[in-house]
Amino acid sequence: MSKARIATVWLDGCSGCHMSLLDIDEGILAIAAKADLVYGPLVDAQEFPANVDVTLVEGAVSSQDDLKLINKVRKNTRVLVSLGDCAVTANVPAMRNGIPPKALLARIYTKPPTDGVPALLKNALPVHEVVKVDLHVPGCPPKPEAIGFVLGELLEGRKPDLAGKVKFG
Amino acid sequence: MQPTLTIDGKTVVIEGERNLLELIRKANIDLPTFCYHSELSVYGACRLCIVQIEGRGIQGACSTPPEPGLKVQTTTPEIREIRRIAVELLFSERNHVCSVCVSNNHCELQTLAAKLGITNIRYPYSYPKLKADLSHRRYVMDQNRCILCSRCVRTCAEVEGAHVWDIAGRGVQSRLIAELCQPWGTSRNCTDCGKCVQSCPTGALAEKGYAVEEMTKRSEPITRLAAHRGASL
């Protein structure tokens, strides 16, 4: 049997969800036996690949780059998982919503950066307001056990029942 | 013979309960509520205690008097969905950022969402621009986290007798206000007792000086004090 292809994506978030993913400790071995990690901040691939079985998305959709990437992720992914509160609710990144991006940058930087940084969207958005999401795993971050459970169930071809396993915050 | 009604097929005796919710809880059935408090006046705003009454449709249990012969169902697929919608709309209406809230892990809204199996909000967030009132010496009021349950309003008016709080405006413009929409810290009626803070189900009212997750609420003293109203001291 060929291995499943898993990707992770880091949009507007603090990387805490990726930390929590690493915190599943030896649970990662069982997952590694069944799946390859084909894209994400933890591996070297530069372009989001085609034909991905499961993508865990951390972070809100906050910039033009996020928007481009999430559309590509959706196109190339069978099961798209919003991982953590930033992806699920837009969370802390959304605290800027309501402030025009230009005014926001002017307040933070004496000289707002323009080169090599993507333009901000008007609002930071939860992933499901931009593309279809197949599963939501809230938490800031979601507990390692919840992430391990989700991956385990998905790799077995089941839809994870998250009742009692997750919460916002 | 004692008057009875049925709740989820179980016969329950009516013994002077003021509303269906009291009876339902007497029957050890768990119904979620935000605005209801056993010792305060009934407000009927949160719509979480809705029940199906045969021949009458869906009604709030807190504001329906018990009548002999009623057939009440506390949980149907439709009711479960309406409750879920009510809670999701609360999340979408204000800026609830659990991860950075003083009441994280001690919040009734957060707890209930998890209990109802809510893992995402299906309605677009409205991101209203709302302020926090930091003018009080000891407490904070953050509109971003308020669900308009009015427990603070009734606690202040009915238990403390100060009536500092009110809810102004209508619909999505509804806001908790101190006095006639003045900074809380300038209130002459506020006794600094903090009962409003303790009655608040979320982080909307909190004590100053607490960081994320540190604010826990104790509503038990309010229940105790309220039960002594009218008693000669």
- Where along chain B do its domains lie? 4-75, 81-222
Q: Which domains does chain A have, with CATH numbers?
A: 4-155 (3.40.50.700)
Question: Exposure string (b/e) for B186-206, b if CB count within 10 Å is 16 or more?
Answer: ebeebeeebbbbbbbbbbbbb
Min Cα separation A28/chain B (Å): 24
- Segment B110-126 mean pLDDT: 96
Residues of chain A with a CB closer than 8 angstroms to some CB in chain B: 82, 85, 88-92, 94-95, 97-98, 123, 126, 128-129, 133, 136-138, 140, 162-164, 166-169
Instruction: Kindly report the pTM of this predicted structure.
Output: 0.94
Q: Are A161 and A112 in contact (CB under 8 A)?
A: no
Q: What local confidence, expressed as pLDDT, does residue B231 receive? A: 61
Please list the residues that pair with A36 across neighbouring strands: A5
Nearest to B34 by CA among B145, B185, B128, B168: B145
pLDDT, tens digit, for every residue of A111-127? 988 898 999 999 999 99
Distance of residue A90 Cα from the nearest chain B Cα, in angstroms = 9
Partners of B59 in the β-ladder:
B51
B232 pLDDT band, cuts 50/70/90, is: low
CATH fold of B4-75 reads Ubiquitin-like (UB roll) (3.10.20)
CATH C-level class of B81-222 = alpha beta
Across B22-50, average pLDDT: 95
Do A167 and B114 lie within an 8 Å CB cutoff? yes
pLDDT score of A1: 63
What is residue B226's predicted lDDT score, i.e. its pLDDT? 87
Tally of residues, chain B: 233
Rounded to 5 degrees, what angle do the CA atoms A136, B81, B53 make?
A: 165
pLDDT at A72 over 60: yes
What integer is the mean pLDDT of A146-155? 97
Q: What is the pLDDT of residue A41?
A: 95
According to the model, what pLDDT value does residue B228 have?
82
Q: Give residue B54's pLDDT band: very low, low, confident or very high (50, 70, 90).
A: very high
In percent, the amount of chain B with pLDDT more than 70 equals 98
Residue of B nearest to A88 (CA): B120
pLDDT at A113: 87
Record: contact A162-B105, CB cut-off 8 A? no
- Give one DSSP letter per residue of A20-57, joined into a string: HHHTTTTHHHHHHHHEEEEESTTS---SPPSSEEEEEE
For residue B220, CA distances in Å to A18, B52, B141, B198 come to 40, 30, 21, 9
